[in-house]
Structure 1
Amino acid sequence: MKKPQRLLMSIFLTYFLLITFSSCQKDEDLFTQAIDEEIEETVQEENKDDNTVDEPDTDSDTDPILDDEVSYGVLAFPSAEGAGAYATGGRGGKVLVVTTLADSGEGSFRWAVQQSGPRTIVFNVSGEIELRSSIVLNGSEHSNLTIAGQTAPQGGITIKGAPLQFYSVQNVVIRYLRVRPFNSQGAGEGNDAITCMGCRYVIYDHLSVSGGGDETIDFWHFGGSQSGNVTVQRVLTGESQNGGLAGGEQNPDVWRTLTYFSSHHNLSIHGYNRMPSNAAGGTHEYVNNLIGNWKFKLISAECNARVNQINNYYRPGATSNTSKGNGLNMLSVKSGHDVKVYASGNYYEGMNFANQDNRDGWTITINGQAVSPPNPWESYFQSSPFSIEGVPVTVTSASEAVNDVTGDVGANKYLKADGSYGTWQDDLDKEYISDFLNDTYTNCKGCSGFVWYDGGSYAYPNIPTNQRSSDYDSDLDGMADIWEMANFGTLNTGANDDADQDGYTNLEEFLNMVDR
């Protein structure tokens, strides 16, 4: 990636010698081998000779981090897994820099996200953005979007006051963002915190979402369009009426299907119901999630859904219903429906009946009437998981997932000028994690152990407001100048160039430093 003239001259000389002394087919093989060896040798030599820069790094005491990794089989980002892992987001599009916390106007989040065409949104400011109305994207012209919350300085970005709503958009990547749709008086709107209807190829990673007047996150059909190929990973949700909705209303029509959906390594706490609800059809997987202090149903599988429930950890709270039926999972079958479940490795704290056989964590209803096992089991439970598109999810045991997920969930990282990252969580996320680990309810304000924002007083945590200096990213290409100079030797490289030819743009290489 450094000293391109020297590398090109070496390649040219190698090629000249080969075509002088070799024959046609052999030339091609030798040329390819020689080029690979020359590139590797040159890059290694340059990394040894010149892996620091003279300009001091104001964010870190260490040298800037060089991007010396090459990636193949391009994912949304290196740690992307599940059905939405191949979402392209705003790759190759324009870079829009958020410079103000104002609700609207040039430089605002609303101004950036509502533009059309491929785009990546980066932030030169941290703090709270209080929306006066919902941000709505409606139509394919708003597709191909990356929201890179990790680019904000310490404190990150909190969207408050109103929800985010996406309709008929494709290829959406959102990372390291907090969405808490309360207004300054603490009252939430009746909408979901983040809605995505008729959306395909979507991945949410390291979000912190709370205060949905209905669901925290949902995916529906829209106007005859399916949603599908969706991943929600490392997301921390809490204090909403319902957890989530995967699919449209209870109708088996194919166009209402959420085709492929992955929910893995998430923490959801203090939700009333739908943790989540699988309406409509499609193949959905729930892997290594942590669920705490729910009120009623966990997973509800309906219509023609195919559900993998694998190695999740369920920790009930003071008001959780832990009986079969409405307390745990519901498999609901109606005439003409064909719903099936694979359940394995899930752990229900204090509920041995469900741990001995995970199928006992489910209640089966046929046309609204509960039926008793074992007769229905063969018809509705699989002995092996359903296949799903995308990238296989890394799976640990349910008990191992507790430390894994609580140690890395929610909007918890921000990039520094040298390409390293810092960690920071707001007090609300810290309390949610503590509530799960310690079986406590520090956020509860007189609501008898069950936390939902409408049952108690909600207070926003203090979010620091920081602004990047003008020389942090002087050319406004989304890459910090210090990191850019260290990796490319110039600020003239384009955000959409691909210096190492691995499929990730130069800008994405910088954004993906949080995956190291």
Structure 2
Amino acid sequence: MLRIFIVAFLFAGITFKAGAQQLAFPGAQGFGRFATGGRGGTVVHVVNLNDSGPGSFRDAVSQPGRTIVFDVSGVIRISDKVLVAPRITIAGQTAPGSGITIYGNGVSFSDSTIVRYIRFRGSINMSKGTCTVIADHLRDIIFDHVSITWGRWDNLHIKQSKNVTLQYCLIAEGIDPQRFGALLEVPVDVTIYRSLFTGNQSRNPKAKARIEFINNVIYNWGKSGFVGGHSSADHFQDLAGNYFIAGPSSTPDFLSMFTATDHVYHKGNYADLNKDGKLNGRMVTDADFRKEKATLLAEPTLLAKSKTPVIPAAEACKIVLKEAGAAMVRDAVDQRIVGYYKSMGKRGQIFKTEADAGGQPEIKAKFSAPKDTDHDGIPDRWEVRHKLNANDSTDGNVISDSGYTHLENYINSLIK
């Protein structure tokens, strides 16, 4: 029987370098970039694709202060929502083969969490109000290269949270009854960066928020693209270097439902509405936002504070095409979705159910984790190469010269 290997580390004597805050990982951007995840805690190996029980993903994320590594790849079919405890790192990049897909219901997150290279997919079998990913009432979380699809209300829901980043993510194909992308209900200090919203009827996202929206692509929206807060409360939205690209399902309404309480700073955004298969859009203007009744700002609310870099929108399109979602190894679903975007207006559809979209394909499970004698999450060969002890379960938690633990150095090294 496969067993779960949990390695408890000793906290005594561990000191973090003084000075600037440590990034969640090299390349982390935005307001969630300092999330600590499971740094300094325990390591849990996911060793099967079961919905629950020893060795499962659900069990692994059930306790705080953990780094989750995967000894298996494939589809984990969940019947009920998974609740992720605080201070968790989910290192999806450690999964062999085609990576990990969590399919069938929602996943709810907590404070101080790092989530990388994993796919979360809902299902028409969920209750109709269910979102695929929920990040409500928390502080400090970063999603990096994460695919979020097939939510029944919204794919993504963020409510009253602070210091949130989504970078290089794929938020796509919301299904019945709403088929919406993301609802941001009054979170503050939210960064959405170099991500792809596609195949959603609306809410790409709906930004009742203090948010910076930087170098993203919104493709093949249905009724509307980026939606303002549209409420009596004040909201602040910085939009810079984004590209709105209409697809077969799209109306001309790439912006929608702003009011005077939406305080918008915008710069370098483009809209391509001709559906001709080429990237040849025009600059988004003040008039586009004034038509929607937004209040325009001469200076950004958040950009100077977060220092998130902004590149030209056309350049961002190329990066998003290459990197959005769990892109180390894209599965057939993500390849299809990104293929629609690659058509630049010619292909794409808004689906009612995941079955209409082709469903969740079977992926042959792969159990080929490298040998890890002390079960500290670091393969023996990496430990030997870096002068660690493959029989010492505590050395992975030692802080290295980089400011990360040796375990973090290993899981970060997997990103090419």
Which interval holds the TM-score relative to the shorter structure? 0.7 to 0.9
| Matching residue of 1:496 | 397
Q: Is the contact made by 2:238 and 2:302 (CA closer than 8 Å) also made in structure 1?
A: no
What TM-score, normalized by structure 2, do the two folds share? 0.86
What TM-score, normalized by structure 1, do the two folds share? 0.70
The structure 1 residue matched to 2:339, chosen from 427, 434, 452, is 434
The structure 2 residue matched to 1:163, chosen from 85, 106, 110, is 106
In structure 1, C-alpha distance between the alignment counterparts of 2:112 and 2:356, rounded to whole Å: 37
| Letter paired with 1:304 | D
Q: Per-residue displacement from partner, 1:340-368 (whole Å, max 9, x unpaired)?
A: 100111110037xx945522332556xxx
Q: Per-residue displacement from partner, 1:305-345 (whole Å, max 9, x unpaired)?
A: 1110111111111221104xxx5233224xxxx43100111
The structure 1 residue matched to 2:237, chosen from 279, 289, 307, is 307
For residues 151-300 of structure 1, what are the structure 2 equivalents within 5 Å? 151-166=94-109, 169-182=110-123, 187-190=125-128, 191-221=130-160, 227-240=161-174, 241-247=179-185, 257-279=186-208, 281=209, 283-300=210-227
1:132 aligns with 2:61: no
In structure 1, C-alpha distance between the alignment counterparts of 2:104 and 2:382, rounded to whole Å: 35
User: Deviation above 3 Å: which 4+ runs of structure 1?
Assistant: 186-189, 354-357, 388-391, 439-442, 449-452
| Letter paired with 1:136 | L
| Matching residue of 1:147 | 90
* Secondary structure of the corresponding residue to residue 174 of structure 1: strand
| Matching residue of 2:6 | none
In structure 2, C-alpha distance between the alignment counterparts of 1:435 and 1:173, rounded to whole Å: 29
* Secondary structure of the corresponding residue to residue 259 of structure 2: strand
Post-superposition shift, 1:461? 3.0
* Secondary structure of the corresponding residue to residue 143 of structure 2: strand
Q: Per-residue displacement from partner, 1:140-164 (whole Å, max 9, x unpaired)?
A: xx31111111111011000011110
Q: Per-residue displacement from partner, 1:247-303 (whole Å, max 9, x unpaired)?
A: 2xxxxxxxxx31200001001110011111112x4x211011011110122222222
The structure 2 residue matched to 1:123, chosen from 43, 50, 70, is 70
- Rg (Cα) greater in structure: 1
| Matching residue of 1:319 | 249
Structure 2: runs of 5 or more not aligned: 1-18, 275-280
Please identify which structure carries the higher helix content: 1
Structure 1: runs of 5 or more not aligned: 1-70, 222-226, 248-256, 366-370, 372-376, 414-423
In structure 1, C-alpha distance between the alignment counterparts of 2:283 and 2:118, rounded to whole Å: 38
Q: Is the contact made by 1:147 and 1:173 (CA closer than 8 Å) also made in structure 2?
A: yes
Mark the CA change 1:214 to 1:458 in structure 2 (over 3 Å): closer, same or farther.
Answer: farther
Q: Which moved more, 1:232-241 or 1:481-490?
A: 481-490
In structure 2, C-alpha distance between the alignment counterparts of 1:232 and 1:350, rounded to whole Å: 26
Post-superposition shift, 1:496? 1.1
The structure 2 residue matched to 1:472, chosen from 371, 375, 399, is 371
| Letter paired with 1:404 | I
The share of aligned pairs that are identical, in percent, is 31
Mark the CA change 1:486 to 1:215 in structure 2 (over 3 Å): closer, same or farther.
Answer: same
| Letter paired with 1:504 | Y
In structure 1, C-alpha distance between the alignment counterparts of 2:245 and 2:386, rounded to whole Å: 46
Mark the CA change 1:72 to 1:486 in structure 2 (over 3 Å): closer, same or farther.
Answer: farther
| Letter paired with 2:139 | R
Q: Per-residue displacement from partner, 1:220-247 (whole Å, max 9, x unpaired)?
A: 13xxxxx110000000121101111112
* Secondary structure of the corresponding residue to residue 459 of structure 1: coil
In structure 2, C-alpha distance between the alignment counterparts of 1:118 and 1:269, rounded to whole Å: 34
Post-superposition shift, 1:436? 0.6
| Matching residue of 2:273 | 350
Post-superposition shift, 1:96? 0.7
Post-superposition shift, 1:106? 0.7
The structure 1 residue matched to 2:256, chosen from 329, 336, 342, is 329
Mark the CA change 1:163 to 1:187 in structure 2 (over 3 Å): closer, same or farther.
Answer: same
In structure 2, C-alpha distance between the alignment counterparts of 1:399 and 1:440, rounded to whole Å: 15
Post-superposition shift, 1:130? 0.4
In structure 1, C-alpha distance between the alignment counterparts of 2:377 and 2:41, rounded to whole Å: 12
